[in-house]
């Protein structure tokens, strides 16, 4: 396949190397310094775009691909309040847009374990749930997209909670899930969900050892998406 890389930072570089090792061709590598190159690209020669940029660039990158009929796979976080707009454009253009807050297969299994645990704990009294995420200092958004996905899974199943807040910023109350965000190098990503009571604690943790798992997931999705239509997610890919 011919793959367009939108966002050529650390993740973009790993994705590019991994895609080439799997026999794919990189049509172009776009970042903030050469964005004008998009004007000269032939969309008919691009099979799929993989987008890992910055929150402020993601929406324009995704629109660029959708408006040219290019399936796009995005893992940029921090812009999701605008996702309904992208969803509408995807349907209007009869395109294919795949978003995941985390492309790691292990993390997506962790999401499901998190939801199951929240369902079980919803029937159990006396526990208080909290969430912590740790990332490298270059990560701009907080909480992480993965933490927000975990929070959504908890809120959907743990009925006493109605919202989440970032510790130090949001309003703390008994109906709000506290998320602590830490930025410590060189951590690529750790997420901890903890249920605490005076008697005991129940804790589940996912720790990423490198960015390779995220990159491989993105490339696998890029290989899968040609021919697909609509707004897609890891649930569609993994068939959970």
Range(s) of the domain holding residue 136: 105-207
| pLDDT tops 70 at residue 240 | no
Average pLDDT over residues 178-207: 95
Dihedral over Cα of 225, 230, 233, 237: its sign: negative
Which are the catalytic amino acids? 135, 139
Question: Which tens digit of pLDDT belongs to each residue from 202-222?
Answer: 999 999 998 898 999 999 999
Strands in 176-183's sheet, in edge-to-edge order, are 163-166, 176-183, 128-135, 190-196, 201-207
Same domain? For 186 and 156 the reply is yes
Domain count for the chain: 2
Same domain? For 115 and 129 the reply is yes
Same domain? For 65 and 17 the reply is yes
CA 17 to chain centre: 20
Question: Which tens digit of pLDDT belongs to each residue from 54-71?
Answer: 999 999 999 999 999 999
First and final CA of the chain: distance in angstroms?
27
Per-position b or e across 158-190, b if 16+ CB within 10 A of its CB: beebeebbeeeeeeeeeeebbbbbeeeeebbbb
Same domain? For 202 and 112 the reply is yes
Question: Which tens digit of pLDDT belongs to each residue from 86-134?
Answer: 999 999 999 999 999 889 999 999 999 999 999 999 999 999 999 999 9
Same domain? For 68 and 49 the reply is yes
């Amino acid at each position: 396949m011919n793959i367009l890389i939108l966002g050529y930072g650390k993740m973009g570089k790993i994705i590019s190397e991994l895609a080439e090792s799997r026999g794919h061709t990189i049509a172009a590598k776009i970042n903030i310094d050469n964005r004008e190159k998009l004007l000269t690209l032939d969309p008919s020669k691009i099979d799929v775009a993989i987008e890992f940029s910055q929150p402020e660039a993601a929406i324009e990158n995704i629109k660029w691909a959708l408006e040219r009929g290019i399936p796009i796979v995005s893992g940029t976080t921090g812009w999701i309040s605008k996702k309904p707009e992208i969803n509408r454009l995807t349907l209007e253009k009869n395109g294919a847009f795949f978003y995941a807050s985390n492309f790691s297969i292990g993390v997506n299994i962790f999401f499901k374990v998190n939801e199951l645990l929240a369902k079980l704990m919803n029937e159990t009294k006396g526990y208080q749930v909290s969430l912590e995420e740790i990332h490298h200092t270059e990560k701009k958004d907080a909480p992480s997209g993965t933490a927000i996905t975990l929070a959504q899974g908890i809120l959907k199943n743990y009925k006493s909670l109605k919202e989440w807040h970032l510790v130090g910023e949001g309003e703390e109350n008994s109906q709000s899930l506290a998320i602590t965000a830490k930025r410590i190098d060189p951590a690529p990503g750790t997420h901890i969900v903890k249920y605490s009571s005076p008697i005991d604690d129940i804790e589940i943790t996912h720790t990423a050892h490198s960015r390779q798992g995220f990159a491989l997931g993105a490339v696998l999705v890029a290989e899968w998406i040609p021919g697909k239509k609509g707004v897609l997610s890891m649930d569609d890919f993994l068939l959970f």
